[in-house]
A and B are shown apart, each in its own frame.
Chain A
């Protein structure tokens, strides 16, 4: 049973195929409006999320399907002590596909090992968030038209930012990209990502604490939020949360065709004044998230023989 737990579960060809379908959905949404008629998506969200859950639900509704599920652990049987494995087996009786978010790393993999229907990892703690990566890839595909020879700046929390790790992993499979890692020392990209991904694939990268210094070179600026929920120590969170705040003045030396991405939600790391800049594409990015999830649901249900 094909599931999506890690972005590396999909080959470059499979990702290309998803992008083609997503672009076709954008061009002609009506063609897809009944493709999942009578099918059910279970959204099992053991951790709060607005964007990811709603984009999955919107995706399924726009494919003509239905949605069931829960949006916090307190309203599920896990509050009574049910295991992830049992939840997955039980939901397999009621739905055709699962989208799961869980605060513990590896929970969606446990679900996929026990479910008889496809499982999509909708975020497992600070570990993986492959549909955000697919969203990011569709955004780059539509806004830049290519995945190679790009100068990509990642700014903010590069330590706990799972979207950053996954996107670096995905972009490392394409030629000629250069990565700029902008973060305070405490939130640097973990060594294992540098060693296992960037070094192993000979990706050129530089680490710096200054966003201003690298801004003129960037084709893509990927901003991230410093996530309160990833810190065991509140004081450290408060000390680091406002380190990088993107305001219009900081974009003076940036390229005209730069794109500014952010997985959202933002707190204050991007000023609302930047929203008016045509280079800000984070709300379009959120929209693309729905289309790529539609393409993903279709792919997994087709491979499962459900549609």
Chain B
């Protein structure tokens, strides 16, 4: 794969350095079979260092996950080798079954079919809490 040219797919740019792998995991990019590149610690005039993820293929993209994991990123949608859309991702108010509560005292620890729902409680600090037990999500 030539990581500079994508025919149909997307580029997640301006990822805070070090978060690329976590976003890769949250987007479950390990489960797709098209070419994926993660560039870590790339130079950036604006950020000093940044991570970049490039995906060459039409795969569904969960923007909520990206907004939660790193609201500073930009997503470039590529079609026919051309940039057709540049998106900034707002932090979602709610995350459902994206992250999972790890508090052993939470009702979700015993009721397997409950949805794991987290709500944005502090936009400035990027804090999400479990709606059931209020445990803070850790990225």
User: Whole-angstrom distance between the alpha carbons of A106 and B122 in the complex?
Assistant: 20
Q: Which residues of A contact B109 (CB under 8 A)?
A: 104
Closest to B109 in A: A104
Q: Which residues of A contact B108 (CB under 8 A)?
A: 106
User: Whole-angstrom distance between the alpha carbons of A109 and B130 in the complex?
Assistant: 12
**Contact between A110 and B132, CB atoms less than 8 A apart:** yes
Q: Is B106 an interface residue (CB 8 A)?
A: yes
Q: Which residues of A contact B105 (CB under 8 A)?
A: 103-105, 125-127
User: Whole-angstrom distance between the alpha carbons of A122 and B131 in the complex?
Assistant: 17
Q: Which residues of B contact A102 (CB under 8 A)?
A: 107
Q: Which residues of B contact A109 (CB under 8 A)?
A: 107, 131-132
Q: What 0/1 readout, one digit per residue, does chain B (9-51) give for beta carbons within 8 Å of chain A?
A: 0000000000000000000000000000000000000000000
Q: Which residues of A contact B93 (CB under 8 A)?
A: none
Q: Which residues of A contact B132 (CB under 8 A)?
A: 105-107, 109-110
Given contacts A105-B105, A106-B130, A106-B131, A192 and B136 within 8 Å (CB-CB): yes
Q: What 0/1 readout, one digit per residue, does chain A (159-185) give for beta carbons within 8 Å of chain B?
A: 000000000000000000000000000
Q: Is A83 an interface residue (CB 8 A)?
A: yes
Shortest distance between the CB of A80 and any CB in chain B (Å): 14
Which residues in chain A, 101-124, are within 8 Å of chain B measured between CB atoms? 102-107, 109-110, 124
Shortest distance between the CB of B46 and any CB in chain A (Å): 30
Q: Is A84 an interface residue (CB 8 A)?
A: yes
Interface stretch, picked from B52-60, B62-70, B73-81, B110-118, is B110-118
Interface size on B, residues (CB 8 A): 17
**Contact between A84 and B111, CB atoms less than 8 A apart:** yes
Q: What 0/1 readout, one digit per residue, does chain A (244-259) give for beta carbons within 8 Å of chain B?
A: 0000000000000000
Closest to A106 in B: B132
**Contact between A104 and B107, CB atoms less than 8 A apart:** yes
Q: Which residues of B contact A103 (CB under 8 A)?
A: 105
Shortest distance between the CB of B134 and any CB in chain A (Å): 7
* Chain A contact patch, size range: 10 to 19
User: Whole-angstrom distance between the alpha carbons of A126 and B131 in the complex?
Assistant: 15
Among B103, B130, B133, B136, the most chain A Cβ lie within 10 Å of the Cβ of: B133
Given contacts A83-B111, A83-B113, A84-B111, A106 and B136 within 8 Å (CB-CB): no
Shortest distance between the CB of A123 and any CB in chain B (Å): 13
**Contact between A127 and B133, CB atoms less than 8 A apart:** yes
User: Whole-angstrom distance between the alpha carbons of A196 and B122 in the complex?
Assistant: 9
**Contact between A110 and B114, CB atoms less than 8 A apart:** yes
Closest to A165 in B: B134
Closest to B112 in A: A83
Closest to A230 in B: B105
**Contact between A106 and B113, CB atoms less than 8 A apart:** no
Closest to B121 in A: A196
Q: Which residues of A contact B103 (CB under 8 A)?
A: 105
**Contact between B106 and A104, CB atoms less than 8 A apart:** yes
Q: Which residues of A contact B131 (CB under 8 A)?
A: 106, 109
User: Whole-angstrom distance between the alpha carbons of A196 and B130 in the complex?
Assistant: 15
Question: Could you list some 21 contacts between A and B, CB below 8 A?
Answer: A85-B111, A85-B114, A102-B107, A103-B105, A104-B106, A104-B107, A104-B109, A105-B105, A105-B107, A105-B132, A105-B134, A106-B106, A106-B108, A107-B107, A109-B132, A110-B114, A124-B107, A125-B105, A125-B133, A126-B105, A127-B133
Chain B interfacial positions (CB closer than 8 Å to A) = 103, 105-111, 113-114, 122, 130-134, 136
Chain A interfacial positions (CB closer than 8 Å to B) = 83-85, 102-107, 109-110, 124-127, 192, 196
10 closest residue pairs by CB, A with B:
A106-B132, A105-B133, A104-B107, A106-B107, A107-B107, A106-B133, A105-B105, A125-B105, A105-B106, A83-B111
Please name 5 further chain A to chain B contacts, defined as beta carbons within 8 Å, in addition to the given A104-B107, A105-B132, sorted by A numbering: A104-B109, A106-B133, A110-B132, A192-B136, A196-B122
